[in-house]
Amino acid sequence: MNIEELNARLVESSEEGDEHIGDLLQYLTFIMNGEEYGVDILSVQEIRGWEKCTSIPNSPDYVRGVLNLRGTIVPVIDLRVRFGLANAEYSAVTVVIVLKLKQDDKDKIMGLVVDAVSDVHAISESQINVSPDLGDNQNSEFITGLGQVGDKMLILLDLNNILD
């Protein structure tokens, strides 16, 4: 699925958003290290191809740098590095998902580098399971649950405070 198509679907789903009845939640899913992750589609602003950004001195290694998003300076985070996953090469399908997240009660816009964007899924709340206790896993605070679509498992994320 190419980026234009995805962006079009993004617009579509956010327009549909209000019409959804009941407990259906929409997630944008992406692939990292072969696993499929999902974020609430309402926090997704747009999807861009990977482009080189300006690095920030003395920043954590998962902060790739900052990007010019139509005049706004937006930090870009490599989610694989943030989650301690194997570092993949940046390729033609490497994408940046631009999210609007809450941090300290302020809206912050940031980009997430992931391996590839997968799909948009509507999941009902009953299909979401609480994630099993993962002990001291540093990423568990971002995982809100595990969703089931067909026989696929989605790892659902809440990325507020990802920069902390």
Note the residues at the interface with another protein (CB under 8 A). 53-59, 63, 65-68, 71-75, 108-110, 163
Question: Phi and psi (nearest 5°) for 59?
Answer: -95, 160
| Residue 57 beta carbon to another protein: minimum distance, rounded to whole angstroms | 3
Please enumerate in sequence order all residues whose Cβ is within 8 A of that of 80, keeping only pairs 6 or more positions apart, or say none.
32, 33, 86, 87, 88, 113, 114, 115
Question: Phi and psi (nearest 5°) for 103?
Answer: -140, 125
Beta carbon nearer to another protein, 63 or 154: 63
Beta carbon nearer to another protein, 36 or 78: 78
Task: Count how many residues are written for the chain.
Answer: 164
Beta carbon nearer to another protein, 54 or 124: 54
| Residue 100 beta carbon to another protein: minimum distance, rounded to whole angstroms | 10
Token pair 């962006």 is found at 7
Q: For residues 64 and 89, what is the distance between their CA atoms, to the nearest angstrom? A: 14
| Residue 64 beta carbon to another protein: minimum distance, rounded to whole angstroms | 12
Beta carbon nearer to another protein, 69 or 122: 69
| Residue 62 beta carbon to another protein: minimum distance, rounded to whole angstroms | 13
